[in-house]
Structure 1
């Protein structure tokens, strides 16, 4: 005879397996199995002809918070991260992620060649297809819908988060948009333009001089705005490349980088200019080449040597309506939605100045949209000084206190009407108060 515990476990497993019956012409359930205290569901949604959107959903078997959290993915997408989804479910939330309508390496855009539907899926369709599938499965599993719905992502995932708020405002209550890669076509154009210019200037010679550039930039900051070697607000610095002991072509290269939106006050930081901007293997080169070979235009042999500003701008604008988020969230605000965004001042991939420009053009109001600029933080996380405030998708909630955990801050704002007037970032042996941009 089965014990009561065994019967309970069997009923949980049966309830999960029963989700396979939710398959339909627009929803394919590949697997539905009990795993590590969750019901793990994998499948594909078919929202439009030619669209095939992969997803994974985790449903806590007990202790569900009533929340649904959809997680964004980075780069050119194509990959699911089961561990990250599982961590979110460990918080008690139903959690899902999509491959954005294709499968492949996040640094490859080859999937987009000759496939405009795949580009539309990557841009926005997959967000809605995944959330609709998740809502259906949540209701079937728990017998009731999610009470609160959140989108959480960084980089391309941050772009997806803003897309969710703008394109599907009725589907979401709270948005956490980290280092959003937006406007994405503009950023991809800037990668190509900047890298083409730097190649002509022989800018690799700057790499050993980055510490001197950073030191000179920090020395130009207003008194009291540098804390433990980190500029608290690089807008209060007035760096002139001529002060860093550079050759004329190097001065031009540094000015070009700054004009593209990057901060010299963090030029020498780990995961900084040397990785993303300078050198033959710079990360921006990879993004630019993939974008102009497959995503923005069909030119599989394109290289930086082929860059032409006018034609590249035209190619980028062709897809701006699909891949970019316009600075207009009036519908989301009207339904009571809340947005928290954050961005590292030391980000050397997505330009911090571009993020600030978008924020101000969105005419944000503190009743629904707040942006935190993080001194010393690189792309999404990591950096120098206090840069941890609960933003990592792979980290369990470190504190229920919304002052220290931006996810908890979003929940407090959405569910309890407590806006985040400040956050506290922590480091190895330090912490710092963060205030929203005004």
Structure 2
């Protein structure tokens, strides 16, 4: 689903596993095996010098510089079991520490992040967030078992029921905020022990759960990092999982509510045809630059005369799609709990983790969070509260009471992070089918709103003092046509870390980030197009001449104020 800072390269939810290397003769690396750190057991310290690291069941990671691989287990509480790895370039270290995130419930080390980090000169760390010991993997951390569903099994759903972190409050804290902080503290200590001196700067980069980790670090541990990249941040954790649960319930309300995979491209084509070019970009784009400018009712695709699906939608399918765009709503108060998915995010690609995947699974992929509250009963259809009957009026409070304070990174108080010179760079794909792209805008707008002292959001122009003040330490870039952290029809590969480093170390704040779309999303097949990602709230507009595949032919311009769907105040910014 992502590379946390070189976006568009792989999948955090489909994270790789790695083989342990064979211990070698004593060296500065192997000497780290005796390093004594608080609540830490160094389980291995080995030199990896062959240029290749081969994860089991996956292709080798090649092109690696010689590095020292350190693995450790952290036990801050009796019930904690946090795995971390720190990879240390043995030559050409750039003097910086890089913490990296993963996806979903994690449960594994994301080796692709470690590899990219050392390839670009960083001493790099990653963690399983302490959920691996409970049998969790990126998509599942509690479930009723895959019930024989092949797709569920392929995505890692265990064959037998599990309760994830139910009954383990300390492991929930590890997942929510403690593991990533301790990975950072212990990782820096390993760096200091290996090199002549410690890191002179520290950065963090993550997307999805990694984005949640990023904002949690800025809020709870503001001095851990000098600069933070937060992509498609799952910061409003409990409510985002409710959104996924609501989506599953809605699509499974009856067999007639299902959207066929073949219908998703039909819907997307209709959305693009109606709205492309109205929001900046170019009229030839196959994606929307700012979907908030689009007005589309799926009823225009309702079957007429002799038409039949998948070329059109039945009335029940129209209802499914309308609800998809509206989001999760309290059925009694009609308040928004989670915004809906943006127009233009319709896809039949199950790896994009959207509606099609949700429909194909016997229960929601991300409902493990509710097993942490209700235990095994959440997977039993006859239980008072289960994945099929969760009540979005009565049951939200039960979940929030237990988990909200630990998991939700919704605070907008970044004063200490800002005061020590910290910089935050956020990004989000406009075509994200999993995590509503409006959420990142809502968080950024809340930073601006709080800077103005307003209780409610207000319109602001580019010359608004509160906006300029917020952008002095926090900047947001929306990526048109990008799915959840990577992929999608738009330019979806870009380097967000280098602009952040230049901002922190040279005082050069990024105004644009160059994004690339490779042919078939494969760099070896060549560049299909480039496009500037603009500093929010600006949008990229075609200059009117030259190829629309070349970024230089677009200019970032002021956008009119657009309505951004927000949850009710009690459900987050």
**232, 247, 259: which one aligns with 2:289:** 232
* CA distance in structure 1 between the aligned counterparts of 2:204 and 2:168, rounded to whole angstroms: 27
Question: Offset at 1:263?
Answer: 2.3
Question: 1:108 aligns to what?
Answer: 140
**367, 370, 373: which one aligns with 1:292:** 370
**151, 171, 194: which one aligns with 1:141:** 194
Query: Does the 8 Å contact 1:272/1:346 carry over to 2?
Result: no
**472, 476, 494: which one aligns with 1:367:** 472
Question: 2:106 aligns to what?
Answer: 77
Query: Does the 8 Å contact 2:236/2:408 carry over to 1?
Result: yes
1:331 alignment partner, SS class: helix
Question: Offset at 1:125?
Answer: 0.6
* CA distance in structure 2 between the aligned counterparts of 1:75 and 1:171, rounded to whole angstroms: 23
* Structure 1 pair 138–128 and aligned structure 2 pair: CA distance change class (3 A): same
* Structure 1 pair 142–280 and aligned structure 2 pair: CA distance change class (3 A): closer
* Structure 1 pair 325–301 and aligned structure 2 pair: CA distance change class (3 A): closer
Question: 1:339 aligns to what?
Answer: 424
Query: Does the 8 Å contact 2:423/2:473 carry over to 1?
Result: yes
2:238 alignment partner, SS class: helix
* CA distance in structure 2 between the aligned counterparts of 1:311 and 1:96, rounded to whole angstroms: 41
**8, 15, 23: which one aligns with 2:36:** 23
Question: Offset at 1:266?
Answer: 3.1
Question: Offset at 1:282?
Answer: 4.5
Deviates more, 1:324-333 or 1:408-417: 324-333
* CA distance in structure 1 between the aligned counterparts of 2:358 and 2:233, rounded to whole angstroms: 25
Question: 1:306 aligns to what?
Answer: 389
Question: Offset at 1:188?
Answer: 0.5
Question: Offset at 1:66?
Answer: 0.9
Q: Which runs of 5+ in 2 are unaligned?
A: 1-23, 50-65, 143-163, 303-312, 328-339, 380-385, 449-466, 519-527, 538-573
Question: Offset at 1:301?
Answer: 4.2
* CA distance in structure 2 between the aligned counterparts of 1:25 and 1:166, rounded to whole angstroms: 24
Q: Which runs of 5+ in 1 are unaligned?
A: 1-10, 390-404
* Structure 1 pair 291–311 and aligned structure 2 pair: CA distance change class (3 A): farther
Query: Does the 8 Å contact 1:214/1:268 carry over to 2?
Result: yes
Question: 1:398 aligns to what?
Answer: none
* CA distance in structure 2 between the aligned counterparts of 1:214 and 1:327, rounded to whole angstroms: 35
Q: Deviations over 1:127-149 (max 9, x none)?
A: 12111111211111113221110
* Structure 1 pair 287–312 and aligned structure 2 pair: CA distance change class (3 A): farther
1:171 alignment partner, SS class: coil
Q: Deviations over 1:258-305 (max 9, x none)?
A: 0112123231364588x5213665479533432222x34324442432
Please list, as runs of the form range in 1=range in 2, the aligned pairs for 1:171-250 lying within 5 A after superposition.
171-201=224-254, 202-221=256-275, 223-225=277-279, 226-245=283-302, 246-250=313-317
Question: 2:541 aligns to what?
Answer: none
**276, 280, 301: which one aligns with 2:354:** 276
* Structure 1 pair 205–142 and aligned structure 2 pair: CA distance change class (3 A): closer
Question: Offset at 1:168?
Answer: 0.5
1:40 alignment partner, SS class: strand
Question: 2:345 aligns to what?
Answer: 266
Query: Does the 8 Å contact 2:74/2:83 carry over to 1?
Result: yes
Query: Does the 8 Å contact 2:262/2:348 carry over to 1?
Result: no
Question: 1:417 aligns to what?
Answer: 507
Question: Offset at 1:378?
Answer: 0.4
Query: Does the 8 Å contact 2:32/2:45 carry over to 1?
Result: yes
Question: Offset at 1:61?
Answer: 1.2
1:180 alignment partner, SS class: coil
* CA distance in structure 2 between the aligned counterparts of 1:272 and 1:141, rounded to whole angstroms: 39
Query: Does the 8 Å contact 1:13/1:33 carry over to 2?
Result: no
* CA distance in structure 2 between the aligned counterparts of 1:352 and 1:280, rounded to whole angstroms: 18
Query: 1:129 and 2:196 equivalent?
Result: no
Query: Does the 8 Å contact 1:271/1:378 carry over to 2?
Result: no
Question: Offset at 1:223?
Answer: 4.6
Q: Deviations over 1:344-391 (max 9, x none)?
A: 1111111112222222123271111111111111010111132211xx
Query: Does the 8 Å contact 1:277/1:283 carry over to 2?
Result: no
Question: 1:44 aligns to what?
Answer: 73
Question: 1:393 aligns to what?
Answer: none
Query: 1:320 and 2:397 equivalent?
Result: no
Question: Offset at 1:313?
Answer: 0.6
